Amino acid sequence: MTLHCKRDDAPPSSFPAKLTAMLYERWRKGGRGFIILSCELIDHNGDELKRCVSEYMKLWELEHEFCSWVERENIFCSTLVDRIVTGGAKAEAPALWEKWDYEDQLIDTGEVFAAWVIEGPQSIKDELPFEKAGLPIQVVDDVTPYKQRKVRILNGAHTSMVLGAYLAGKNIVRDCMQDTSIRSFLEKTMFEEIIPTLDLPRDEVEGFAASVIDRFDNPYIDHQLLDIALNSASKWKARVMPSLTEYIRRLGSLPKRLCFSLAAFIAFYHKSERDGTAYPVRDDPWVLDFFADHKTDSNAMLAKAVINNERLWDGELAKIEGLEATVAAALDRIDEVGMYEAMKECAE
């Protein structure tokens, strides 16, 4: 983090600096501390926010007594949110406005399912009685396994399926779930290749996976595959690669569907058109430049270049024996029979 806010800024521009200034005024006036629920979409968001506040306390040379008060009287909670929100509801909005008798320009579309996991002491339930209100919120000692469950199963399933499914002719997640072959690919990826890499109780993760399948099949949400495809390089690394490497570590073999998802990722970025029509590939410029530089590569050359790109995978994929040949073979098969038939074969 670059610290750019000054103590006398009124107000500071960054959120951590604003929070530091607010806490300082609270302490100066003799107030109590806070339960602080960090909601940034990063790992250990509460710990990171506390670290940022600590850096500002040092930069601004604030009193030792204040720093001790922040540590003693405030609880910085890491949190995890799980809810699919697909964007505005333009088509439904006029009818809803008429029903409500007012116009809400911030109307949005989200699924009924929701979960918010808060890492912190059970004592915060006394201050925040979420459970008594019947809200889908858990207070846990460690958010890590719940983060892993969401990222590996829900997000990992999305990322492992959508790039291939788009090239197979699908446009929204629900269409994928209503196609027997693509649904089978997804389910077998989740239950046979992702779940065996997790340490939570088997019945708990299988129950979560079943709920994810129902959520993907939601008839009221049109979740566009191209929207999910945004920044797929970093998404595949964070959401799919850990399952791939852990599967190999635990079972000693290559998971064929997770390997295929890497081939689908490569094909999506390399082809950049479906049925003769270009589609947007949105990612960091250096990722797009890399694929442009390898536009004329054979499948074997392309698989080798991608897997050995240290900036993409921090060298993790290059260590895996047999991965390069497996991905190259999958790319060949995609070219031979098309993405849909290749996914169908992989689902069998």
Instruction: Using alpha carbons, select from 43, 112, 82 the residue that is nearest to residue 208.
Output: 82
CB 260 within 8 A of CB 266: no
pLDDT of residue 134: 92
Task: Return mean pLDDT, the chain.
Answer: 94
Instruction: Using alpha carbons, select from 157, 151, 147 the residue that is nearest to residue 45.
Output: 147
Report the pLDDT averaged over residues 255-267: 98
Report the pLDDT averaged over residues 269-282: 95
pLDDT of residue 71: 97
pLDDT of residue 199: 85
Give me the residue label for tokens 């064929």: 256
In what side-by-side order are the strands of the sheet with 79-82? 79-82, 115-119, 137-140
Alpha helices in the chain (DSSP H): 15-28, 45-59, 64-73, 93-100, 124-127, 144-149, 156-167, 173-177, 180-188, 202-216, 225-228, 232-239, 241-251, 256-271, 285-293, 299-307, 310-313, 323-337, 339-346
Q: How confident is the model at residue 1 (pLDDT cuts 50, 70, 90)?
A: low
The domains of the chain, with CATH numbers, are 15-77 (no CATH), 81-140 (no CATH), 144-346 (1.10.1040.10)
Which of the 8 DSSP states describes residue 36? E
pLDDT of residue 27: 98
Instruction: For 53-97, write each residue's pLDDT tens digit.
Output: 999 999 999 999 999 999 999 999 999 998 888 777 778 889 999
Structure tokens at 181: 């072959």
Report the pLDDT averaged over residues 301-326: 97
Instruction: For 130-149, write each residue's pLDDT tens digit.
Output: 988 999 999 999 999 888 88
pLDDT higher than threshold 90 for residue 4: no
Neighbouring CB atoms inside 10 A of 277's CB total 6
- Write out the DSSP string of 76-121: EE-EEEE--EEEE-TTTHHHHHHHHTS--TT-EEE-S--EEEEES-
Report the pLDDT averaged over residues 108-119: 87
Report the pLDDT averaged over residues 290-300: 97
Kindly give, in sequence order, each residue whose CB lies less than 8 Å from that of residue 212, ignoring residues fewer than 6 positions away: 153, 154, 157, 190
Percent of the chain residues past pLDDT 70, beyond the cut: 99
Residues 124-152, buried b or exposed e (16+ Cβ, 10 A)? beeebeeeeeeeebebeeebebbbbbbbb
Instruction: For 155-180, write each residue's pLDDT tens digit.
Output: 999 999 999 999 999 999 999 999 99
Give me the residue label for tokens 């929701």: 114
Q: How confident is the model at residue 113 (pLDDT cuts 50, 70, 90)?
A: confident
Beta strand pairing status for 35-37 and 75-77? Answer: parallel
How far is residue 231's CA from residue 23's CA, in Å, rounded to a whole number?
A: 36
Structure tokens at 346: 């992989």
pLDDT of residue 2: 59
Instruction: For 146-160, write each residue's pLDDT tens digit.
Output: 888 899 999 999 999
pLDDT of residue 42: 84
CB 327 within 8 A of CB 262: yes
pLDDT of residue 218: 83
Which of the 8 DSSP states describes residue 224? B
Report the pLDDT averaged over residues 314-323: 97
pTM of the model: 0.79
How far is residue 29's CA from residue 263's CA, in Å, rounded to a whole number?
A: 59
Beta strand pairing status for 137-140 and 273-274? Answer: unpaired
pLDDT of residue 127: 92
Whole-Å CA distances, 82 to 136, 142, 240 = 10, 16, 18
How far is residue 82's CA from residue 155's CA, in Å, rounded to a whole number?
A: 10
Instruction: For 184-204, write each residue's pLDDT tens digit.
Output: 999 999 999 999 999 888 898
